Amino acid sequence: MNTLANRPLTISGATKTYGTGSGAIHALQDVDLTVSQGEFVSLVGPSGCGKSTLLWALAGLHDLSSGSIKFGEEVITKPHPSIGMMFQDANLLPWRTVQKNIEFPFEIRGQKPDFAKIEGLLNRVGLGGFGPKMPRELSGGMQQRASIVRALSSDPEVLLMDEPFGALDAFTRDEMNMLMEEIWEETQKTIILVTHSIQEAVFLSNKVYVMSARPGRMHKVFDVPFERPRDLKLMESREFFDLVNKIKAEIQHQPTSAAAAVAAE
């Protein structure tokens, strides 16, 4: 475990309303959260509770209505070179090879790609030799592996992941969970994962944060005590099953979004 904790992410009073007037949508309310450097945390909660809204703000992709996000002492108001993001869709440009897709963020920043690092990462995720292929020649899981390489090739300190494996079949998802566990062990990056899968959250995280229905607030945090490194057998244990069910119960006890919105008026 990384104990340096020298560049935490600090979210204070994060509040976000989309639009104005009667059509306004109150997505987040007063969310406080600190993620230490090297921690792996997950955000879970009912659909529409503002998980993506919070992640986009962490990525500097949109503003909060009030509150702040700090990365160490820096206030995040725009994308930060040390904070990478992955989405459910691998978002590979279909007309570029895998290699050229991975190089794309470097091009945007006007930097020379780190070819050695890219090659090492492609090998690491099992895509050695796939650089010259077009995205359509890769399966969904392979495309997400390429997107992991793209996100890690600039060596970010923080990786934000928004339902990255939500579109994959269960078997491929298990494989990706194992890969992420290994990558976290090897790199000790700070990772914030948004997921619908409580199993995935528990398997990968040090802490699971449960958000309440819209407007999203921080409802509860669960420490995940399981030893690391972890392997997929953990998912068959009684303790794993019990913790997953405890977290699921917290989410199911949330009022629906509509009821919560009325209650919050």
- CB contact at 8 A, 191 and 41: yes
- Residue 50 in contact with ligand ADP, rule: CB under 6 A: yes
Per the structure block, which two tokens stand in for 238?
């009684």
CB of 210 to ligand ADP, least distance (A): 12
Per the structure block, which two tokens stand in for 115?
């070819």
Q: Is 145 helix (H, G, I), strand (E, B) or coil?
A: helix
- CB contact at 8 A, 133 and 98: yes
Interface segment toward ligand ADP; rule CB under 6 A; list 29-37, 43-51, 126-134, 230-238: 43-51
CA angle 223, 229, 233 (to 5 degrees): 90
- Tell me how far apart the alpha carbons of residues 90 and 39 are, in angstroms, rounded to a whole number: 24
- Residue 27 in contact with ligand ADP, rule: CB under 6 A: yes
- Residue 164 in contact with ligand ADP, rule: CB under 6 A: no
Question: How is residue 164 annotated by DSSP?
Answer: T
- Residue 167 in contact with ligand ADP, rule: CB under 6 A: no
CB of 52 to ligand ADP, least distance (A): 3
- Residue 148 in contact with ligand ADP, rule: CB under 6 A: no
Strand partners, 34: 10
Interface segment toward ligand ADP; rule CB under 6 A; list 19-27, 115-123, 198-206, 239-247: 19-27
When the beta carbons of 142 and 260 are compared against ligand ADP, the nearer one is: 260
- Residue 18 in contact with ligand ADP, rule: CB under 6 A: yes
Residue 60 to residues 27, 47, 224: CA-CA distances in angstroms?
17, 22, 28
CB of 185 to ligand ADP, least distance (A): 28
- Residue 51 in contact with ligand ADP, rule: CB under 6 A: yes
Q: Rg for the chain (alpha carbons), in Å?
A: 19
CB of 135 to Mg ion, least distance (A): 23
- Tell me how far apart the alpha carbons of residues 25 and 161 are, in angstroms, rounded to a whole number: 24
How many CB atoms lie under 10 A from the CB of residue 151?
A: 21
Binding mask 196-225 for ligand ADP (x = CB under 6 A): ------------------x-----------
CB of 111 to Mg ion, least distance (A): 30
CB of 51 to Mg ion, least distance (A): 5
Binding interface with ligand ADP (CB under 6 A): 18-19, 25, 27, 47-53, 214
